[in-house]
Amino acid sequence: MRRLLGALTVSVALAASAVTVTGSSAQAASRNDVLVIGMATSDLISLDPAKAFEFAGIGVNSQTYDRLLDFAPGKYDVPGPSLATSWSVSADGKTWTFKLRTDAKFHSGNPVTAADVVYSLGRVVTLKETPSFILTQFGITPDSLKAIDTHTVQITLDKQYAGGIFLACLASGVTGIVDSKVVQSHAKKTDKHPKGDMGLTWLSTNEAGSGSFIMRKWAKNDRVILDAFSGHWGNVPKLKRVVVKEINEATSRRLQVEKGDIDIAWELFPDQVKALESSSELHIDKFPATTIYYVGMNVTKGPLKHAKVRQAIRYAVDYDGIINHVMGGAAKAINTFIPEGFAGYNGKIHFKQDIAKAKALMAEAGFADGFSTTINTGDQTPNPELSQVLQASLAKIGIKLKINKMVSSQLWPDYRKQNHDIIMARWGPDYNDPHTNAQPFADHTVKQLSWRNAYYNDTTAGLIDQASREMDQAKRMALYNKANDIIQQDGPYIFLFQPLYQYGVRNNVVGFLPPPTFDLWKLYTVSKK
Amino acid sequence: MGNYILKRLVSLCITVAGIAIVTFFLSLIVPIDPLAAIAGPQADPETVERLRAVYGFDQPLHVQFFRYVERLAHFDLGMSFQTGRPVLDDIIYFFPATFELASIAMIIAIVFGIPLGVISAVKRNSFLDQAARVISLIGVSMPVFWLGLVLLLIFYFKLSWLPEPGRLDIMLIEPPRITGMLLIDSIIAGDWEVFQDALMHSIMPATVLGLFGLAGIARIARSSMLDVLSQEYVKTARIKGLSEFWVIVRHAFPNALVPTVTMIGLTYGGLLEGAVLTETIFSWPGLGRYLTVAFLTLDLNAIVGGTMLVAISYSLVNLLVDLLYAYLNPKITLAKGEG
């Protein structure tokens, strides 16, 4: 006992002595070549470009890997050259040839060659992890990839696709080019890949890229340390180091950016933004996220099969209330499946709350007395709150809406089985081209959102199919917009809003360009005064 | 003694095996599709079915079960669907941070909880007793989330006495990982700057956690102390003319410790599961957050691994408590203590 007490006394003394030492000074603010970003990175599970499909993982990969093409920071409509300096397509629209730059090096010092590109893309379609569909949708297999010479790559697709779609996909996170020599040396046999995992296990926590930053360390659930790669062919970072610190709690992000312990607080909510607005040391940067919050209506369920009822519901919704109150102003109304930030975006608003019109439409459809139905909703903010506003709105036209809260592992399988009446949902693009949204929202044949809501419209599906082969960018955008007009008026959705990302940025941070998605996130432009 | 410990360890293995089996069948009853977590919300039906085959969920139940048992027999906890890493690696990675935090919290709870309980029993109904009761009440009833944020606001944001959330200053580099506990690893490496910084970073989260344990410990210490103080042998000691101080320290306190130790054991076991909210507020990379994500996404292998770790921790702490009993009170024989 005495020994125990002795040990305790020592620990207390130790703790007490530590308390007397002054706490941290504003650490991030004191170093000009180190940028500290505080963000919720609990979804960081793999850093392998072939596997990562979560915001944080793609965000980190965007710093450490180069792609064949890329979107310039701040310009997100058409991708430009990156590892590939020029490209051309055969007359039948199926075979693409890419010329690689000759001065690109991996972090290991190895040169970036056509063989690395063939290996990297081949890896994605062989491993078949979640994001692999971005390439396999073009019928790409390992056999479609060919290194013509050290700096020329040829990719053959199964049929002609709109160049805009294909090139945008080659600029997405999954196409990060890995150092084939380094990765092959770390391949091992696993249960899932008995013939060898092509480095899948190793790359989940390590990095073998040629990007502007080298991943120095990933301490899980704690921080990622990125160091500048001075040997980059073009985009050498202005900073020496970037630390991405995991801070999942938004209030904590706010306190730390205000105090200067972090330079950028990622994704702040309206409460925190309000608290920071008066600060003279930092400002709020905003950019619309490309996520779209929408309501899906299963058109096989009761009155929802009537287009006029769906139209009435769209007129009944209190859009302003949702944006101003539930979202605290951090959202913008949208009536298109092409989010702002993408090519082809059209800001036209079809629906504003108009209860009289909604009631008239209900009467025309034969439901003047309303009806009862159920909305399935996720249990995470803001979904329940959004559903409550919807409930109040629909009550005004006689529709009794029952809210059924579900955890996401119940919600999505149920949605996939077309079990819902109405669902509160959201959709994030998979790559940076309107096609990634147009297809799920308007083409039921791909068994995505349109199919899940049992909305089988051959006209819109045909328009999307036509767009998928249209080589002229402007004509392609017109096709999407034509499909969108039909979807807005007749389709199974209510488009609620596009949220705004709000970042708290210290005033000494220069060159930060808030990105609409994580695979467009570029840190090499950032510096500190 | 050695024999006893061996017996207890055998029974621990049986417990763990039982838990493994129960967990497997419980996971089947839950009306949730684990593929939803693996495939993500945007996946199309074909991808979901393909993944179902990859992960073996398309196999008959008994095949799944035998595969599961076979793996466990080889100490293979399988891969986490979420992280894509072996569950054992994940646990080894995240547990030390939790263990470190829970241990510091426990030290705080014991160092302050026991004296608080003893003093309030001795000075019953005095101002001190009332004050102790208020502290206990705060510890038990204050929501951790709220308390954590308030402490942050005061001691970090306003006063700057304590550092920001996290385990270590962003500019410091962790010492080589040996135990995974920063305080220990920094001592091994002789890196006192890291040691001091890590200690400072642990004070707030450990206090929040410790306050919760403290409340329970103080209450038990108080009531068992009161119980002991009314016993005949304490009266005898007083009649013998022993000063009140020695009556308490030598006769009452050691006897009151036995139930308190039980409480300490239970509290410690609970803390080792990881404290989700505390870990979230203080950006502490521990097991609590890992397991929460695993539960929410039905990451079966991770759930089984975590459950077994918790079972083993509880059993070991219990064993330790029983051994302490024998040390504290020689009248308790270990053979009877089994159960």
Residue A30 pLDDT:
60
User: Do the chains contact at A220 and B285, CB–CB below 8 Å?
Assistant: yes
Considering only the beta carbons, identify the residue of A14, A23, A191 that sits closest to B163. A23
Distances (CA, A) of A239 to A26, A246, A423, A525, A528: 18, 20, 45, 9, 8
Residue B32 pLDDT:
66
Measure the CA–CA gap between B74 and A20, rounded to whole angstroms.
50
Nearest CA to CA, how far is A406 from chain B (Å)?
Answer: 11
Residue A6 pLDDT grade (very low, low, confident, very high; cuts 50, 70, 90): very low
Which of A46-50, A94-98, B80-84 has the weakest average pLDDT?
A: B80-84
Q: For residue range A379-397, what is the model confidence (pLDDT) as tens digits?
A: 888 899 999 999 999 999 9
Nearest CA to CA, how far is B217 from chain A (Å)?
Answer: 16
**If contacts are CB pairs under 8 Å, which of residues 94-133 in chain B contact chain A?**
94, 107-108, 110-111
Domains of chain A (ranges, CATH numbers): 1-64+211-281+507-529 (3.40.190.10), 66-187 (3.90.76.10), 292-500 (3.10.105.10)
- Tell me which chain A residues have a C-beta less than 8 angstroms from the C-beta of B167: 222
Q: Does B198 touch chain A (CB under 8 A)?
A: no
Q: For residue range B320-330, what is the model confidence (pLDDT) as tens digits?
A: 888 888 777 76
| Strands A34-39 and A264-265, bridge-based pairing | parallel
User: Do the chains contact at A413 and B33, CB–CB below 8 Å?
Assistant: yes
| Residue A438 tokens, joined | 């147009």
Residue A277 pLDDT:
87
Q: Does B249 touch chain A (CB under 8 A)?
A: no
- Residue A464's contacts (CB-CB under 8 Å, 6 or more residues apart) are A435, A438, A439, A442, A443, A479, A480, A483
Question: Closest chain A residue to B110 measured between Cα atoms?
Answer: A8
User: A527 versus A23: which is more confidently predicted?
Assistant: A527
Q: Is the pLDDT of residue A180 over 60?
A: yes
Measure the CA–CA gap between B226 and B222, rounded to whole angstroms.
6
Task: Answer yes or no: is the ipTM higher than 0.90.
Answer: no
Q: Which residue out of A409, A420, A427, A437 would a mutagenesis test of the B interface target, given it has the greatest number of B Cβ atoms within 10 Å?
A: A409
Measure the CA–CA gap between A302 and A440, rounded to whole angstroms.
24
Q: Is the pLDDT of residue A525 over 70?
A: yes
Residue A27 pLDDT:
60
CA B150 vs. chain centroid, Å, equals 23
Residue A170 pLDDT grade (very low, low, confident, very high; cuts 50, 70, 90): very high
Region A349-359: what's the mean pLDDT? Answer: 96
* Nearest in space to A215 (alpha carbons), one of A230, A204, A203, A226: A226
User: Do the chains contact at B36 and A430, CB–CB below 8 Å?
Assistant: no
Q: Does B222 touch chain A (CB under 8 A)?
A: no
| Residue A168 tokens, joined | 């945008």
CA A135 vs. chain centroid, Å, equals 17
- E strands of A164-281, at which residues? 213-219, 223-228, 241-246, 264-265
Region A496-521: what's the mean pLDDT? Answer: 90
Measure the CA–CA gap between A503 and A330, rounded to whole angstroms.
11
Q: Does B223 touch chain A (CB under 8 A)?
A: no
Considering only the beta carbons, identify the residue of B84, B155, B280 that sits closest to A46. B84
Global pTM reads 0.82
Residue B41 pLDDT:
60
Burial A331-355 (b: 16+ CB within 10 A, else e): bbbbbbbbbbbbbbbeeeeebebee
User: Do the chains contact at B164 and A28, CB–CB below 8 Å?
Assistant: no
Q: Is the pLDDT of residue A9 over 80?
A: no
Q: Which residue out of A41, A125, A203, A222 would a mutagenesis test of the B interface target, given it has the greatest number of B Cβ atoms within 10 Å?
A: A222
Considering only the beta carbons, identify the residue of A27, A407, A409 that sits closest to B170. A27
- Tell me which chain A residues have a C-beta less than 8 angstroms from the C-beta of B162: 23
| Strands A213-219 and A527-528, bridge-based pairing | unpaired
User: Do the chains contact at B297 and A31, CB–CB below 8 Å?
Assistant: no
User: Do the chains contact at A407 and B296, CB–CB below 8 Å?
Assistant: yes
- Tell me which chain A residues have a C-beta less than 8 angstroms from the C-beta of B203: 15, 18-19
Q: Is the pLDDT of residue A325 over 70?
A: yes
- Tell me which chain B residues have a C-beta less than 8 angstroms from the C-beta of A409: 32-34, 36-37, 296-298
Residue A20 pLDDT:
38
Q: Which residue out of B161, B170, B185, B217 would a mutagenesis test of the A interface target, given it has the greatest number of A Cβ atoms within 10 Å?
A: B170
* Crossing angle for the helix pair B144-151 and B192-229, to the nearest 10 degrees: 130
Is residue B330 within 8 Å of residue B34, measured between CB atoms? no
* Nearest in space to A443 (alpha carbons), one of A425, A427, A431, A459: A459
Residue A455 pLDDT:
97
Question: Closest chain A residue to B284 measured between Cα atoms?
Answer: A222
Block residue for tokens 């035998």 = B66
Measure the CA–CA gap between A89 and A154, rounded to whole angstroms.
10
Domains of chain B (ranges, CATH numbers): 2-73 (no CATH), 87-338 (1.10.3720.10)
Measure the CA–CA gap between A157 and A97, rounded to whole angstroms.
11
- Please report, in tens digits, the pLDDT of each residue of chain B (339 residues total): 678 888 888 888 888 888 888 888 887 777 666 676 666 666 667 777 777 777 777 788 888 888 888 888 888 888 887 777 889 988 999 999 999 999 999 999 999 999 989 888 888 888 888 888 888 888 778 888 888 999 999 999 999 899 999 998 888 888 888 998 999 999 999 999 999 999 999 999 999 999 888 888 998 999 998 888 888 888 888 888 888 888 888 888 888 888 888 889 888 888 887 688 888 889 898 888 888 888 877 788 888 888 888 888 888 888 888 888 877 776 666 654 443
Nearest CA to CA, how far is B162 from chain A (Å)?
Answer: 5
SS3 per residue for B183-238: HHHHHHHCCHHHHHHHHHHHHHHHHHHHHHHHHHHHHHHHHHHHHHHCCHHHHHHH
Measure the CA–CA gap between A212 and A66, rounded to whole angstroms.
8
* Nearest in space to A219 (alpha carbons), one of B86, B278, B167, B195: B167
User: Do the chains contact at B283 and A245, CB–CB below 8 Å?
Assistant: yes
Residue A19 pLDDT grade (very low, low, confident, very high; cuts 50, 70, 90): very low
The 8-class DSSP code of residue A420 comes to -
Residue B333 pLDDT:
64
Measure the CA–CA gap between A260 and A280, rounded to whole angstroms.
12
Q: How many A/B residue pairs have CB atoms within 8 Å?
A: 156
Measure the CA–CA gap between A489 and A50, rounded to whole angstroms.
38
Residue A423 pLDDT:
97
- Rounded to 5 degrees, φ, ψ at A399 are -95, 125
Q: For residue range A406-462, what is the model confidence (pLDDT) as tens digits?
A: 887 788 888 988 999 999 999 989 899 999 999 999 999 998 999 999 999 999 999
| Cα radius of gyration (chain B) | 24
Q: Does B292 touch chain A (CB under 8 A)?
A: no
- Tell me which chain A residues have a C-beta less than 8 angstroms from the C-beta of B161: 19, 22-23
Q: What is the dihedral of CA A458, A464, A466, A469, to 10 degrees?
A: -150
* Nearest in space to A54 (alpha carbons), one of B38, B287, B33, B34: B38
Considering only the beta carbons, identify the residue of A36, A128, A133 that sits closest to B170. A36
